[in-house]
Structures are given as C-alpha cells and as structure tokens.
Structure 1
Amino acid sequence: MSGLRNATRHKLAALVAAGVVLTGSAPLTAAAQQPGPEPLFAPIGLARTQPSNSPPRLRLDVDQLNPRVIRSDTPQITVMGKVTNVGDRRIEQVEVRLQRGDVVTEEGKLRAAMTQPPAAEAARPPFKPVTKSLEKGASTAFTATYTLDELKLDQPGVYPLLINVNGRPEYGGSERLAGLNVLMPVLSLPGRSAPPAQVPPKVTVLWPLVDEHPRVVRQRENDRQLLLADDDLASSVQIGGRLHGLLNAVESATKQNPKLMSSLCFAIDGDLLETLQAMTNGYQVQVGDDKTVPGRGKDFARRWLDGLRSLTSGQCVIALPYADADVSALSRAGAVDLAKTSVNQGVTSVSKALEPTKPQQGVLWPVDGTVDPRALSDVGGLTPTVVLANPERLKGVKGPGPFTLGQNDRVLPIDRLTSLALAGPASAAGPVSVQNGLAALLFRSTRPGQSVLVAPPRRWTAPASELTVYLETIGRMFTDNLATASPFADLADSPEGSATALDYPEQDVAAEVPAGLIDQVSQANAVQRDLLGAMLPDDTRPVLPETLMTPVRNGLLRAASSGWRGNVEGGRQAAATAVKQLDDMRAQVKVNPPGPPIVPASSNSPIPVRITNTLPVDVLVKLVIKESAGLRPGVVQQRRIPAGNAFTDLIPVELLRSGKFTVDVQVTTPGGTQLGNISKFEITSGAYGTITVAVTSVAGGMLVLLASRRVYRRIKQRKKQEPTPA
C-alpha cells in the first residue's frame, strides 16, 4: 500500500462562464468546455444577467476551503485558489468575496439547497483584491480569509456559502465572472460549545468498489490471456486513478482513526476482482477489430488487489451482483436464472478473491436502492434477504428502520439526504458534492437516536483528497461523540419497524438498462440454457459443461450491467461479444460437408450424415432434414456425440421421385437450438419411389387389361366372319 500513500491530491475546481445566471437557473454548461483540474460546476446564486451567448471569462480553481466544518474552536474561514483568464480580453480589478445565505434548519430546505442553491445575500463582507489586471491566458493565486463575525454566523446549522469572483473585462463594466456554491455546516460557535446529542446517531458507511462498466472481451482461459476492450482499468487502479483514490482514502483516514473502520462496509463487484486478478497474469488490450497490444496494468492490478486484501481483512464486505447486473431488468425480462446467478456468483467471486474474508450472506444492494418486488423474490427465493433500499420505495411503514418485510426479508433504509448530497446534481458532482455530503451528515447528527446508512454513488468520482476529508470528518464525529460507529452486521440484525411491500414505479423502470438490450441478453440466455442442458461431461476430460458455459454467462451478465445505463451502444457491443462467444460454441457441433452427390441404392435407402463435435464435452443432438418435393424424412433418433469426435448417423428417408435435388440438413439440441450451419446435400436418385411404382403398376395393369380386351374382341369378330359348316 506504499503506492496508495503517495497518491496525489486533487484540486477543488470551479469553472463558470461569464454568462452567469439567476438563482435556480440551469448549470452553466458553456464552462464545461474549458480545461481544468477536477472541474467543479455549480450555479452561483444571484448575479447580473448576461447574454446567453456570452463567452467564458474566468476560471476559478479552489485549492482549499478551511475548515470544512465550523466548531467552537474555529476563528475564521480561509479560501485559497487560483483564477485564470480564459476569455479573449484583459480583465481588470479582479476581486473575491466569501458570502453566505440564511441558515438552513429543515431537511426539505436542505435538499432544495443542494439542487438549487439559495441566494447567499444574508452576509456580504467587503471584496478582497486579487489582482489589478489579468491578461488573457494569465493566472494568479489568491487567499481570502474572513472571520465568523464578518460572515455574521450566529447559530448552529447549515449555511449556503458563495465564493464570488468579480472583475471588469476590457470594454465592459464590473460583473460577476465566476462563483462556487457550497454548504458549510456549523456545529457550534466560539464561546458557545454545543453539547453532544443525548443519543448520537449510529452511522454505517458503504464504500463501493466497482468499475465504470465491464471491459472484458474474452476471459482468461487455458493458454489464452485476458482480452480487454480498453486499458482504462489500469489507469483507474494506479496512482491518481479513481479506484486507487477510493482505497487510498480509506487507508489514510483509518490510520488516523482506527475506530472509523468499524463503521465501513466495502461493497465490491466480483467481476472487477476477477478482471484485476487475470490482469496480474498479463493481458491484451483490443485496439482494432483484429489487433491487440499488451496491457500495461499488470503491476498496478497486483498492488491494488494486495491493498484491498489488506484493508478488508476481517472487515465487513458485501458482494454486489456480478458485473453489477441490473437484476430488476433481468427478472422483468424473464431471465430469472441469470438474475439469480448474478447474485450468487457475485458472492462466490468476491469470496474467492478476498479469501479468507467472506462477504455478508444474503445482502442485496440494488442499483439506486430500488428493486422490483418480483426480482427480489426471484433472486432470494425462500432465503432471508437483507435489502439496502431507498426508504421512499417502502409501503405500509410502521415504526423506525430497519424494517421487516414479509416473513423472510429485511430492509435497511439508505439515508436519502446524505445519498442525494453525495451524488449531487450534474452541476455539482465531485468536490462540491462531498462538501455537501459532509453538511448533510452533520445535519443528521443534530437528530439523535437515528440509524444512518450512508450510500455514496456506486461509481463515485470524487477526488481522493476529498474522499479522505470526508472519512476523516466522520472519524472526528465519532471522536467528538456526535455519532456512533455502527458495524453493518449490528445494523442488519436490529429490525425495529415493519413494511408491507416495496414499490417499483415507472421512473425506476425507465432508469433500467434499456429493454431492447435486456431482451437481446434474455434471448441469448435462453439459447445458452438450452445448449447447457444438451451437454454431458466426458469421463476422459476434466471439463464440466457448467465450467465451459461460464464465460458466456459472465458475458451476458456484463452486457446487463447497470454501468451501461446511459451508454446503450456500449451495452450492445458487450451483448454482441457474448452472443459471438455463444455462436462460436454452437458452431463446434456441426454436420460435415457431404462431398459428392449421394446416390441411394433404393427409394428407402438411408442417407449417411457425419456429425463432428469439437467441444470438450459430449453433446446430445438431433438431426433435422427438411422435407422437400423429392424426399420424405423418417423418424430421427436423438444421438450423443462424444467430445472431440465425429459420428456417422444413417437417416431414414423415402425418395419420392428420381432425378437430382438438394436437401437441407442441420443438427440441433433436443430443445431445438440450431448447432453449426445448415448443410445442403445433393441427391441423385435413379430409383422409383413407392408412389411411382404404384402408379406404374396400375398403368401396366390397365395396359394389360386393355390389350386383353382388344385381343378378345378380335377373336370374337373373327369367329363371326367364319362360314358355318354344312
């Protein structure tokens, strides 16, 4: 983990266009086109309206906001950062000010403040000069410090803050050029120390470790290396990468406060761990349809896995569905077995990769905390399941959570306030969302006696430095007795209330992996299930049909990953990869080309058909010959084709005519799944079929009858012409 400790710290950054908007307006999208470290977007409160086509003028990079939480020992607030002229003209009289809005003491208003920052006009201290002139492309650093008296903070609560940058562009007037909205929690003020809550809330934090989306094109098998669609996972697990930052933050924060670890529970995707483990043996990266290059992440993957095993040893771990598959979408599409496999295989893969650490049994954290009730029944069956769910989807709630659900299941409600804050709107992702998440969690600390299950975004993109600050602040809450570290197992084992059902409204259905993609996965799953049912182990080979089919099934689960939400094309490519693997497997059982035309000895002579099976398992097959105008097939028996062998079967047929004609022959599973391609057999028949013989016989009989009648009439006529003897 030495590499983790050397992780570079990311910057808080705000990039806002000169065309600022009024409070409640949409995020400033024009600024997103400008480069910058860890860009941070947010509406900036009240400002003079600018033309909609106004170009960006200034970029604001906030390196430090200190402190992140105001306590009784906080004398002042300091903002450090840098402004850069990204416009097309000089900017004069650049100045910065920290100002605040009214205190937020209600949860509803706090939620609203996260998505639509209120006006920060309650306290507006004087601006502090940054520079007299900033040329085009130039940058300058600044430090602005304000006392709590200047900000007129007078009571605990959560305050909206605005870091406001003004300037005067050349040929224009003074205006707001950039700004950043954040929430600042105030626990207590100097001289007025706040007593801890009588019953501090119990806090449990999920820590998700899952890739942005699956990347495997071909699993590692025998002497074939792993093949990935790209090498972005290597970047993610090396220093400065997203997954590296998630581990680094835990290591740094828990070293300072070991008590923090008891509140953490790692939520891990087994497909991610299997992919990284395969990378440690060397792998290839696809760079074209037929070209690959060696991957560069072998050592990065090994170090990351070693660090993960060290951190999770003896700690709480829950397994996500394999490849983070969308279990609700799969279940609703009829791929129930695939949905259940994703849950079971997720547990198996995580257990194997982190051995001897074992994940919690019977725990399901569905995407967004929402799950279709039928899907829950499908994947859980009669086994008790603990569901980490959005409490807004619970029906018939009685009492506080956790809740019993039906006879077997339990629901642990995810804290929606902190989850919404950490996810943030599209305009406030990254560092701002982490600061707002801190504000939401500290707001919860003022409500004693609650159980707070913090569920960050599944694919959290906050910088490592912000993640560390977040965890360190939670650790400080435990130290100050503002909250109690609650192990996940204790939370799961203490149901207090009850709920009658889970709701799954249309908005959750609409958020699923698109139906067209899931239907493609479901259809391919039906084929692989039928093919698997036709396979039998070969006693001479150490290969089981289930093992042989695992890469195909894993590919289908990857195609159903929730990582493809919003990226349908990527999901289709993943599905096409899995379908190709399945087609390649089916093609290994086929009818051999017939060669020269077949000349049957008689009208009911059987046709020889040779079937080849190059799979390492036996396969039950059935030959199918399509009826044609010249041939009627007989009853074909099911055959078992040995692994790696060929078998010649004699197919009973009846020829209906003579001459040359072609017949389509194919091999299928007993369930009807086509194997291999359709082969065309050419038959040259010189024999007569039964009908032809019958017609010929009847015609011959009629000819004999007519000839006999003619002879009889001639004889009779001749007798009449002969004279009568005297």
Structure 2
Amino acid sequence: MRRIVHIGAVVATTAAVIPALAAFNPAQAPAPADPDGGGSTTAPLIVEEITPKSIGRSSTIRITGQVTNTTGSALRDVSVRFSYETYPFTERSELDAFSSGEGAQPDVEAAEVELGGPLEPGESADYTLRADASDLALSSWGVYPAAVQAFDGSGDGIGAERTFLPYRSGDGAPASVQIAWVWPLMDRPQRADEDTFLDNSLVQSLGPEGRLGRLLTAGAQSDEVSLEPEAPAEEASPPPSAAESPSGSPSASSGEAGGSAGGAEDSTDGTGSDVPVTWAVDPGLLADIERLTSPYRVTDDPQAVAEAAAGRGTSGGDAAATTSEEASPGARIWLEQARAALADGSVVSTPYASADIAALLRHGLSEDADAAVSLGRETVERVLERPADDTVALPRGGLMNTATREFYQRQGAGTFLLRDDAMPAQSWVEHTPTAQAPLSLGKGEEGTALVADSSLTDVVSRNASDPGEAALAQQRFAAETAMIAGEDTDTKRTVVAYPTSGWNPGAEYAAGMLEASGSLPWLEPVDLSEVEPSGPDAGEEREKLTYPKRGTRAELGKDYLSEIKDLRGRVRLFNSILVDGEDPFRPAVLRLESAAWRHDRDLARPARVLVEQAVERDMDKVRILPTEPVTLASATGTIGILIANDLDNHTVRVNLSLLSENPERLSIGNYEDAIEIGPGRKTTVYVELSTRVNGRTMIQMNLHNLSGEPISEEQVLAVNATGMGSQALVISGIGALVLVVALTPRALRKWARNRARRDSAAGAASAGGGEEPDEPDEPDDDGEASAGGPGVQDNDDGSTSPAPTGSDADSASSAHTAEDEDEDDDESGPGNTPAGR
C-alpha cells in the first residue's frame, strides 16, 4: 500500500512541475564549441565531488564542480542550481530511467550560487553548492532524485547532470546487505609465441596511470602499494593532511566521517577500514607481464602479417617484422607490488589465458581444457609466489552449461561465480535475490553458486575516467545498493560486485567505490569465501542452472578451432622429437584458445599466423646440413652426414633415413639411425657405401621422428664412383681371356705360313747355283706383296717392267694356286706343313 501511495505522489508531483520546467530543456542547450579549434570536448557542466555520499538529518551537502563556456559568445550572469525531489524512488528500474533522461528534472531548489563576472568562450569557472539536509524536508529512508543545473542570465540552460541523494534517516531504515567484491586483474592475451608481443599496450597499462596499474593500487587500498619509482628518503612527501586528501576518502568526506560539516549521525557513514577484496586473476596475463621483465620483441604490424598470409593462402612465408625492446622496469615494479598486495588476500583464477572451456569441450579439445587449468595453477604459484583458491571456478561471462560445470567439478571446484543470466530470479520474486544459491553437482553432491547481479555489474563496470564522471558514478553505486537494501524482505542477503574482465575504471572511481562499501551504513563488506547458502529455503528464489543461447553463440566457433587443430598437429609433430615430453608451444596454443578472441577477431588471426611461423622456424632448426657431392675412388668408402640442432633450449631425438636411388649400382651399409642431439649442437653420422659400377648415384636423406613421420625437408646427396668395382674387374678379365683364346689360332697360322715361305725360298736358292735370291716381300693378310702391285716386277737397274707372260706367267700362277690350296687345307695350326715344302 505504501508503494502505491509513493507512486501516486510521484505522478502528481511530476504533473505539477512539468510546466515550470519547460523553460529548461537540456536538449536545447548550446552545443559544445571549440573556440580554439583544438578539438576540445569539455562538458559545459562538470560535477567533481558530492559529499557525503549518503545524508542524514544533520548532514551538510557539498557539491563542487566547474562550468565551461562551450559556445562562441560570452555568457553573463551564470548560476548553478542544486535541485531534488521530495519523493524517493520505489523501484530499482527507476534509477536507469532517471539516469537516461526520462521524466522531468527535479525542481525543488536546495541551493544556488552565482558565478562572478561574464564567462568568455572557452573560459571555465569553479562552483561550490551547499545545502543542509535538515532544510530538505525528507521524510523517509530512501533514494531521492537530484540534479545540478547551470543557467545563463536569460534563464537558458547551459548544462545539467542528474544524480541521486541516498537518505539514511527517517522511517523504514533497512537491515544491512553484505557485499563481496571480486576485483579482476585480466586482459586479452598479449603474446603470440613466447617472445613476440602483438603490440606494446601492456607496458602502458602497467604504469601508475594505466588500467592494470589503477586496478592494482585501488584494490590494494594501501599507500604502501605504489607503482611510482621510489624517491630518495630526503625528498619523500609527508602524509597528506585532511585538507589534501583525495576526493572520496574518509578525511575528505567529512560529512560521512562525522566532521564539522555533519552531525553525530554521520559518524556511522565511515569506518576507515579496508574492504575485503577477492582478486580474480588470469594466469596468462601474469605470464605476459613476467615476460616483459626481460628483453622481448613487438610485432610492427599484426594486420600486415594476417593479410600476407591470406594472400598466400597459407601461414608460411617470411617472418613478421618485429622491433626489439628492452626489459620493462614498469613490469618488474608491477609484479613486485602485486605480490605484496595479493599476499594475504583471497585469490581465484581463470584457466590459463581465460581459455574458452565451453568451446573446447564442445569441439573435442578436452585435453587443452585440462592443460589450461593445470598450467594456470602452476603460473599463479610461480609468478605470485602463492597459490590460488582451486575450489572457486570463474566460467567465462558468468555462464556455464552442464559440461562446463562437470569439467570444473573434476578440477576440484565446488563454488561457481556466475552472472544472473545463468540462474535468474524466479518470476514471482519482486526483490533482488541473495547471491548465494545451492547448485546440484549430480550424484547427490551439492555446490554453491555465487550469482552477481547484472544491474549492479553494469553500474560498477562503468569507465568513469572522464572529468566529472567519478562523482556521479559513485552516487549511482550508493543509490543502487541503497535500493537493494531497501527492498521488502526479511532475509539476510548478499550481493556480489563483480565487474567485467575488461574493467577500466578511473582511479578515483575505483577507490571511491571500495571506500563507499565500507562507509555506507546499509552495506557490510565480506570476503567471498565467507558467502555460503544458509537456511532450508536457500536457493528457492532462483531458477535452476541454465545456459542461454547467447552463451553458445558467443563461444569460439568450429571454423576457428579447426584452424587451431591444424596448428596443434604441427605442434604435436615438433614435440615428437623433443626428449622428456616437452611441449614448449602449449602456452601459445592456449592463448589462441582464449575466450578473449570471441570479441577481438581482428587480432586473433595475426596471433595464430605468428605462432604457426614460430613452429615452422623451430622445426627448420633441426635439419641435415647441405653436403657437397661425394666422390668414391674405390669400391667402398665412408661418408659423414652432418645433422644440426639449432634449438637453444631443447634436446632432440631423431631418426636418419638414407635411400639409394639405384641400390644395384650403389648400396648403403649400416649406420646409426637413431640420434640424440643437445641444444645448439651438431653431430656427424658416418655411413659406409659400396659401389659396383662407376657413375653418379643420388642418395635421398630424411629426418623422421621415432614413429617414422618426416620432420624436415628431404635432402639429396650426389655420389660419383670412379674406382672399378670387383664385379667390373671380373667381367673385364673374362672378356680379355675370351679375346686371347679367339686370336691365338690365327696368330699361330700366320707364323707357320711365314716360316714355310722362308724354308721354300731357301731351298730354291740352293738348287739354282748357290746364290741366295733376295727374300720376297712378305705378303699381307690379303696374299699381296707389300711393295709393288700385281703384274709388276723389278729390273736390275731399279726400274719396273710388266710381269712375264706366257709359260712363265702360267707357272707362277700355278705355283700360287697350289700354295693357296695348301693354305686352305692347313686348319690344324703349326706342324702340319706338307713334307715336300
């Protein structure tokens, strides 16, 4: 009934004030101008600080900020006004509607201040508004609409900001709500292979003003955690006084801490103690930061790498252009401070590089999922020098299907940090359910789901780093939690503040929210480990675990993971030659399987191409060194084949395979085919060769793993044989013997013929008077004399005359015929000459 009365009052008030607000229309405010042409985007109205964040009866509200003339002409008689509404919000959803500009601006004036003098174009002026809470006539506990507005002398609006006034006095003060903070230290994977970074953004992020730097120092809540270089002792600055404390700190918020601006009631609005924080870390990010502490390389243009690979239709080709960088001092300081800040707090972790567990399980990569968890645990303990809590699982995006839940359960998890899309409130529940709920693990086992509220997540995940955003964002956080606490319920509830993994808050905003968690009277900070289901009805307000369709659509897809599977095949082949089961590319593959690539596909492909190139480079470092052609000067010989292992940190074991192109000509003897080579070493394998025939023969040389798979490109060795082989000698000897046997009878016949002629000539000379005639020329094989020709004879004076004719010629002819017949009958060799000759 009270809610209905409040709604009616709000409607009536709105109807009454709309005509009065017609003169102020933020949509008609002058557009920001840039008189200097420098591209300035300064807002015309900035709210820098609102104190206290919640007010009591005796509080004094103080609002400070700045007005800037963003028009092209001077503004005169500028004033700033603080207005509010006298009726509180009744539903949490009204906060979003009011922030987005729905409904009329609050019109009950609480304070106004005029700025002195005209405001020239581009000129700014500070303002301070003060109002006593006792003058506001707020009647009940709740969150009230408020606004800060700037006008010129004619009443035209210059700028406006909407905000909230949480009022903690009056009737209806609720019981406190527990709040558990989960503080993310996460980022996308920064490296491709172990030594090559995709860009150099991580170095900037680790600095005092960088995203990870701000998250670390704000979450640590300690002045001892600092990323600034240490100053000499004599130059160290003294602790800030109360007047110098940063905005949002207990000393600055004197109205909350019970200072002079407030009354005794405000003393309940600040405790000054640290708020428990559970650090959620990505082990892959810790490893990336650790790698920055030694020299590294940065890819000059990742997109060019991807485009070149796409143009070739392959990931091969020239290595990407990189720039060498020195070790980062900022990375070393960040790690040192992180070890100190996280030493005593609660730490939970994702799998290595926030691997997309749901996608890996869906596409048959469960081994990679197991490796991501084990490597993640090892990395956290090595880098932070302390373990993470293995009983808490952080499913990506706070969503989890049954397969993912069973996987984390096998890994030892019993508590699961989820978003409320995974376990939404029952339709009949009108308030914010408590975060903790029992979760069935099957077979009678029960775990715990800790469900982060999505609206609160949106509020705390704001950037709020631009001028004026931090104060308004902190007021929205105070209003959101106050509305949760004020909901009608009789149970003790817990809310989990769990920003998104890419949270990038301003330093002031991040620190201010933690301070508010400890100071706002309706919040009770607790450690995440203390949140457990309680009572017999725990969990009834939430639906059972569900996996929305958007969870499946968001996973890494089949096509992308198929490319990773191909890469894993090359990695497996490389690993097969390493001793002791080493897997040096496992972290790189897991980084490629990160859920971060769901939303950053532009860098996913260059990262994969760079890893593929790194694998191929390392594969090529185990090789047979080119060899000059070999010459064998004898039937056998020994050659040396040089094999190199140019890997710096790995011992390899390979098999050498040799194959002769023509085994009948050149055969390969025994050699040591299984070889183990240390890092950066070379070894020579000696091989015996034997040749049977002179000539050139090619030997094919390959390196394989122990399973016979080739691991390098084939090399070819030319062998030239110049010495006679044994078989060739035998064949030549037999040929020579056959030739001798075939020619001997003919030589003997020729010898016998010549001898018979000499004997005949000698007998004729004796019968003719004792004068031995001149020995005729020996006929050649054709039976003709070597000097002269047929029908020619020599005269005494040396001249020639025709051969004799008639009886003399016939006698000569008859004699020659008889000799020829004797020669034809002579087939038995020497000793068969007729006796009469």
- TM-score between both structures, scaled by the size of structure 2: 0.60
Q: Mind listing any 5+ residue stretches in structure 2 that lack a counterpart? A: 1-23, 35-39, 224-248, 251-269, 301-320, 428-432, 723-837
Seen in structure 2, the aligned counterparts of structure 1 residues 570 and 468 have a Cα distance that, compared at 3 Å, is: same
State the partner residue of 2:611.
Answer: 578
Seen in structure 2, the aligned counterparts of structure 1 residues 573 and 77 have a Cα distance that, compared at 3 Å, is: farther
Which of 456, 470, 478 does residue 438 from structure 1 map onto?
A: 478
State the partner residue of 2:166.
Answer: 186
Which of 314, 317, 321 does residue 347 from structure 2 map onto?
A: 317
- Distance in 2 (CA, whole Å) between partners of 1:437 and 1:626 is 76
1:545-694 equivalence runs, <5 A: 545-546=581-582, 549-550=583-584, 552-593=585-626, 595-596=628-629, 612-615=644-647, 617=650, 619=652, 621=654, 639=674, 641-643=676-678, 644-646=681-683, 648=685, 667-669=703-705, 675-679=711-715
Query: Between Structure 1 and Structure 2, which shows a larger proportion of strand residues?
Result: 1
Contact 2:179–2:525 (CA under 8 A) maintained in structure 1:
yes
1:10-25 equivalence runs, <5 A: none
- Distance in 2 (CA, whole Å) between partners of 1:625 and 1:493 is 69
Give SS of 2:188's match: coil
- Distance in 1 (CA, whole Å) between partners of 2:461 and 2:646 is 50
State the partner residue of 2:120.
Answer: 135
1:436: how far off? 2.3
- Distance in 2 (CA, whole Å) between partners of 1:433 and 1:670 is 63
State yes or no: 1:209 paired with 2:185.
yes
CA deviations on 1:294-319 (whole Å, 9 max, x unpaired) are: 25x41x44443333333333321112
The alignment's C-alpha RMSD in Å is 5.0
- Distance in 1 (CA, whole Å) between partners of 2:441 and 2:89 is 38
Seen in structure 2, the aligned counterparts of structure 1 residues 587 and 78 have a Cα distance that, compared at 3 Å, is: same
Which of 347, 352, 358 does residue 328 from structure 1 map onto?
A: 358
State the partner residue of 2:531.
Answer: 491
Give SS of 1:59's match: coil
- Distance in 1 (CA, whole Å) between partners of 2:609 and 2:709 is 18
Give SS of 2:486's match: coil
Seen in structure 2, the aligned counterparts of structure 1 residues 265 and 569 have a Cα distance that, compared at 3 Å, is: same
- Distance in 2 (CA, whole Å) between partners of 1:471 and 1:672 is 61
Contact 2:578–2:651 (CA under 8 A) maintained in structure 1:
yes
1:590 counterpart letter in structure 2? R
Give SS of 1:462's match: coil
State the partner residue of 2:213.
Answer: 244
Deviates more, 1:507-516 or 1:336-345: 507-516
1:455: how far off? 0.5
2:129 counterpart letter in structure 1? A
Seen in structure 2, the aligned counterparts of structure 1 residues 508 and 71 have a Cα distance that, compared at 3 Å, is: same
State the partner residue of 1:692.
Answer: none
1:102-501 equivalence runs, <5 A: 103-110=88-95, 113=98, 116-125=100-109, 128-130=113-115, 133-148=118-133, 153-167=138-152, 175-182=156-163, 184-189=164-169, 192=170, 195-197=173-175, 200-210=176-186, 212-216=187-191, 219=194, 228=197, 230-252=199-221, 261=274, 263-279=276-292, 281-284=293-296, 286=298, 288=300, 289-295=321-327, 297-298=328-329, 300-355=330-385, 357-381=386-410, 383-394=412-423, 401-407=436-442, 409-424=447-462, 431=470, 432-447=472-487, 448-477=491-520, 480=521, 482-492=522-532, 496-497=538-539
Deviates more, 1:138-147 or 1:47-56: 47-56
State yes or no: 1:523 paired with 2:566.
yes
2:324 counterpart letter in structure 1? T
State the partner residue of 2:314.
Answer: none
1:593: how far off? 3.4
Give SS of 1:445's match: helix
Seen in structure 2, the aligned counterparts of structure 1 residues 179 and 368 have a Cα distance that, compared at 3 Å, is: farther
Deviates more, 1:405-414 or 1:255-264: 255-264
- TM-score between both structures, scaled by the size of structure 1: 0.68
1:475: how far off? 0.9
Give SS of 1:274's match: helix
Q: Mind listing any 5+ residue stretches in structure 1 that lack a counterpart? A: 1-44, 220-225, 538-544, 653-657, 687-726
1:469 counterpart letter in structure 2? G
Give SS of 1:676's match: coil
- Distance in 2 (CA, whole Å) between partners of 1:570 and 1:205 is 31
CA deviations on 1:151-185 (whole Å, 9 max, x unpaired) are: 675433334444333458xxxx9754433334x25
Give SS of 2:505's match: coil
Deviates more, 1:311-320 or 1:510-519: 510-519
- Distance in 2 (CA, whole Å) between partners of 1:505 and 1:626 is 59
- Distance in 1 (CA, whole Å) between partners of 2:53 and 2:494 is 22
Contact 1:342–1:557 (CA under 8 A) maintained in structure 2:
yes
Give SS of 1:134's match: coil
1:389: how far off? 0.7
State the partner residue of 1:718.
Answer: none
- Distance in 2 (CA, whole Å) between partners of 1:532 and 1:93 is 77
Seen in structure 2, the aligned counterparts of structure 1 residues 484 and 82 have a Cα distance that, compared at 3 Å, is: closer
- Distance in 2 (CA, whole Å) between partners of 1:516 and 1:672 is 30
1:72: how far off? 1.5
Give SS of 1:181's match: strand
- Distance in 1 (CA, whole Å) between partners of 2:700 and 2:288 is 43
Contact 1:215–1:228 (CA under 8 A) maintained in structure 2:
yes
CA deviations on 1:73-125 (whole Å, 9 max, x unpaired) are: 454433212233345444445443334466332234445556x3433424353
Contact 1:62–1:79 (CA under 8 A) maintained in structure 2:
no
Give SS of 1:342's match: helix
Which of 21, 26, 30 does residue 47 from structure 1 map onto?
A: 26
Contact 1:117–1:160 (CA under 8 A) maintained in structure 2:
no
- Distance in 2 (CA, whole Å) between partners of 1:321 and 1:517 is 20
- Distance in 2 (CA, whole Å) between partners of 1:93 and 1:664 is 94
Contact 1:613–1:641 (CA under 8 A) maintained in structure 2:
no
The alignment-based identity, stated in percent, is 19
- Distance in 1 (CA, whole Å) between partners of 2:516 and 2:158 is 32
State the partner residue of 2:68.
Answer: 84
Contact 1:388–1:411 (CA under 8 A) maintained in structure 2:
yes
1:474: how far off? 1.0
1:497 counterpart letter in structure 2? G
Seen in structure 2, the aligned counterparts of structure 1 residues 585 and 159 have a Cα distance that, compared at 3 Å, is: farther
Give SS of 1:554's match: helix
1:473: how far off? 1.3
Question: Larger Rg: 1 or 2?
Answer: 2
- Distance in 2 (CA, whole Å) between partners of 1:186 and 1:667 is 75
Give SS of 2:118's match: strand
Contact 1:630–1:661 (CA under 8 A) maintained in structure 2:
no
CA deviations on 1:21-43 (whole Å, 9 max, x unpaired) are: xxxxxxxxxxxxxxxxxxxxxxx
1:179 counterpart letter in structure 2? A
Seen in structure 2, the aligned counterparts of structure 1 residues 319 and 462 have a Cα distance that, compared at 3 Å, is: same
- Distance in 1 (CA, whole Å) between partners of 2:412 and 2:631 is 59
Seen in structure 2, the aligned counterparts of structure 1 residues 467 and 637 have a Cα distance that, compared at 3 Å, is: same
State the partner residue of 1:536.
Answer: 579
1:607: how far off? 12
Contact 1:95–1:130 (CA under 8 A) maintained in structure 2:
yes
